[in-house]
Structure 1
Amino acid sequence: MALTEAQAKVLAALAGLKPTEALTVRRLCSETCLSASTVRAALGVHSYAGWVLGSARTPADWRITAEGRALLATPAYRDYLNHPSYWVNGDGR
């Protein structure tokens, strides 16, 4: 399944976090410059596919799964790993 640009941006923002870190929808909106409804829609797709996990508490904290990281590592989405949070907090080189 091909990701939209917004979906790829949300996944890339989460990929920039350490495995123990997570972001709320509000923080994802800030990181990606996307609207809350767009971020929620992307998270719904990602969650269904198993690429992200949300916490049970409210507001939910979202983190990327190993499958989500593997998807972003494919050539089609590798450019999205240039997200600023990935370079600051992630394992980008």
Structure 2
Amino acid sequence: MSVSQEVAETTALKALAWLVNNEEVCSVFLGSTGASVEDLRARAAEPDFLGSVLEFITMDDAWVVDFCDSNALAYEVPMMAAATLLGTARMHWT
């Protein structure tokens, strides 16, 4: 199952907004990725960056639930959107 590029990008932009508005999770994202607040603004239109935001959120079930509940999304949508945006760059071999 997958989502369209448009749905993936819209979901990712919502995820970025959720991240920015969640100070605790945003600081974890910035610390773990090395991104800066300026990067959040400057790279908001880049599918790879947006995919990395989604991939980060999917690392924690509580984040997924909070993000999805606050945006009326099914819990599997962030993972599907990340797969669409990242394509083969997201392949896991384990």
| TM more than 0.5 | no
TM-score, with normalisation over the residues of structure 2?
A: 0.33
Structure-1-length-normalised TM-score: 0.33
- Give the number of the structure whose residues are more often strand, by fraction: 1
Q: Which has the higher contact order (CA 8 A, sep 6+)?
A: 2
